[in-house]
Amino acid sequence: MTSLIQPKRGFDNAEFEKRFAVVQSKMREQQLAAILLTTEHDINYYTGYLTQFWQSPTRPWYLVLPSEGLPIAVIPTIGVECMSKGWMTDIRNWSSPHPTDDGISLLTEALVESVERAKAASGFTNIGISSGREAHMRMPLCDLEQLKVNLSNHDKQVEFVDATVIMRRQRMVKSPNEIEKLRYVAQTVSSVFERLFEFVHPGMTDAEVFRAFKIQCLTEGVDDVAFLVGGADQGGYSDIISPAGPRKIGEGDVLILDTGCTFDGYYCDFDRNYGFGKVDQSAHDAYEAVWEATEQGFLAAKPGNTPADLFHAMNDVLQKAGALGDSVGRYGHGLGLQLTEPPSNTRWDDEVFEVGTVMTLEPGMEFAPGKLMVHEENIVITENGAEYLSRRALPKMPIYS
């Protein structure tokens, strides 16, 4: 068992007040009257409303962040008790599901109030929504259309505009309390990975390996094993996102496990590779190449640099190692309340890292036709460069023998 100290759950009101002050100042910069949020992680970030109930797709949930005044939640009655435990005070609710008005009248009222206050204070009437890249609106499109009609009937000047970048940029930079949770879950899972050969043996099926791994992670202290993909194959694998199957691990196999476990809503996301018996030399070479690529990505991870810098640092190593291609599309990404968050370590992502940015480094390559090797670690960017949140993988592939 690990001797890690579990961080306190939740956050003090001061943290939410600060988050809200930051987004309010951004709203004013961008001349927005309010922002309307609909997704689990955006709403959790600003309210502390953490629940697995989001898995039920039936009910919409709304949060209005006004540029003047306090946030307004417009949510189904079933969530009021849970949300009231946090810092939110203005929680309006209706019995959902509803046949004709699933929260839209209440939401219209909340937005009209917010726009009226903003108009009086600053003249702003636009409402920001998440309509940009890598985002979606978790509400029925028919209700979004109805909302537009309602608001336009109230005031022709009200328009929806894209505000995706505001939330993306704010959430990219983590607070010390967030980093503590991220470090805890990454360290906990590191311990499980380091002891893998204690509970995984040749002859087990991929499905048995997954089950054993999940039980170990729960036993060691994660809240949930929300994401686990991978599998084993001869001398390397070809698919890293399929569910576990009935194939048994045998001599010459390479096993990858890539997991997103959570603590208090915060994710780790990293992988480990393992060999069984005599593994083809090309897989050993590929392991060392992706490990070295991670080293170089780590060195490039500092304030002022960009995901594109990380991409090039890692890609140089992989190209020299003879990479045939890459089907993943990027070499890592942001990490936090979601398994993957913006930005992406691609050739083109020029988001600027700040102190507190949390990223994964995930160099991957096809090292022989149909054979992949993917490695991943979690880091946080500090004033002096990067620090690992996960405990670094071994520089050579661990072998079960």
User: Which parts of 146-205 interact with a second copy (CB under 8 A)?
Assistant: 162
Choosing from 21, 149, 161, 215, the residue that interacts with a second copy (CB under 8 A) is 215
Number of residues interacting with a second copy: please give it, by CB under 8 A. Answer: 74
Does residue 55 touch a second copy according to CB under 8 A? yes
The alpha helices in 48-175, defined as continuous H runs, are: 80-84, 104-121, 141-154, 164-172
By C-beta, is 12 or 251 nearer to a second copy?
Answer: 12
With 0-12 / 13-18 / 19 or more C-beta atoms within 10 angstroms meaning exposed / middle / buried, residue 219 is exposed
Cα 131-132-136 angle, rounded to 5 deg: 55
Neighbours of 157 (CB within 10 A): 14
Contact criterion met (CB below 8 Å) for 23 and 30: no
CB of 198 to a second copy, least distance (A): 17
CA dist., res. 47 & res. 50, Å (int): 9
Choosing from 89, 153, 175, 242, the residue that interacts with a second copy (CB under 8 A) is 242
Contact criterion met (CB below 8 Å) for 160 and 131: yes
Choosing from 77, 89, 152, 175, the residue that interacts with a second copy (CB under 8 A) is 77
Region from 149-157, 233-241, 315-323, 393-401 binding a second copy, contact rule CB under 8 A: 233-241
Does residue 99 touch a second copy according to CB under 8 A? yes
DSSP state letter for 260? E
Choosing from 23, 47, 102, 331, the residue that interacts with a second copy (CB under 8 A) is 102
By C-beta, is 146 or 157 nearer to a second copy?
Answer: 146
User: Pairing relation of β-strands 364-368 and 341-344?
Assistant: unpaired
Draw the binding track, 243-272, toward a second copy (x: CB under 8 A; -: no contact). Answer: x-x--------------x---x--------
Choosing from 23, 33, 34, 129, the residue that interacts with a second copy (CB under 8 A) is 129
Does residue 329 touch a second copy according to CB under 8 A? yes
Does residue 339 touch a second copy according to CB under 8 A? yes
Could you tell me which of 374, 289, 395 has the C-alpha nearest to residue 332? 374
